[in-house]
Chain A
């Protein structure tokens, strides 16, 4: 049972454009929603994270939008750059005291010049 569904699987965006990746979750016990960025040959690195009591969080060009009633959250990358080309994973954590993350299946983003 996939508890975090991520779409699209792949995304091609022109330089300067907006990249949008969506995730939906089922378990209402999730209380922390991070996004990870992974480059080939590297482990995932935390990009930005949000808690369900906040509807939006922005850090530089990266914004998370969170809709608790719809159980959906999304990552927006503004002014996308070729250096943003990577695989992005949304994730969810169930409850304080646990570090166990449930990941979406990932979105491969390609930003073309």
Chain B
């Protein structure tokens, strides 16, 4: 079974631009969560989707948004990029009802904002 796939792996943008990151969950998984990882703040929860519905949202500004499609693939968008948005963005998928609701993480998209 293929793991969680995130594209692109690396991205360089400039301040003020917007960016879209993509996540393909493990086949059969309907829940997708996004996290931001930085050296200073660690792993912070962005949002969680299940069956195309956002179930939870972390404490991030409205510039951060996401969506989930009917095939469970998910995208997150960051508008008006700031230098502080430079981070590793991780996507995790879960199978609802699976043992211990394990979240499987992708390798992440490393975003650099110049």
Contacts and interface: CB of A to CB of B under 8 A. Distances in A.
Interface of A: 32, 34, 36, 41-46, 49, 89, 91, 93, 98-106
A76 B30 CA distance: 33
Which secondary structure characterizes the binding site on chain B?
strand
Interface of B: 4, 31, 33, 35, 41-45, 48, 55-56, 58, 90, 92, 94, 100-108
Contact of A99 (B4, B94, B108): B94
B86 to A, nearest CB: 17
Nearest to A106: B42
A99 B42 contact: no
A100 B45 contact: yes
A99 B101 contact: yes
Given A89-B43, A101-B35, 5 more contacts: A44-B105, A93-B101, A98-B56, A99-B31, A105-B42
B43 A98 contact: no
A93 B101 CA distance: 10
20 contacts: A34-B102, A36-B105, A41-B107, A43-B90, A43-B105, A43-B108, A44-B90, A44-B105, A45-B105, A89-B43, A98-B48, A99-B48, A101-B35, A101-B45, A102-B45, A103-B43, A103-B44, A104-B42, A105-B42, A106-B42
Which secondary structure characterizes the binding site on chain A?
strand
A102 B55 CA distance: 16
B48 A43 contact: no
Contact of B92 (A32, A99, A102, A104): A99
B94 A43 contact: no
B106 A43 contact: yes
A89 B42 contact: yes
B107 A49 contact: no
B42 A98 contact: no
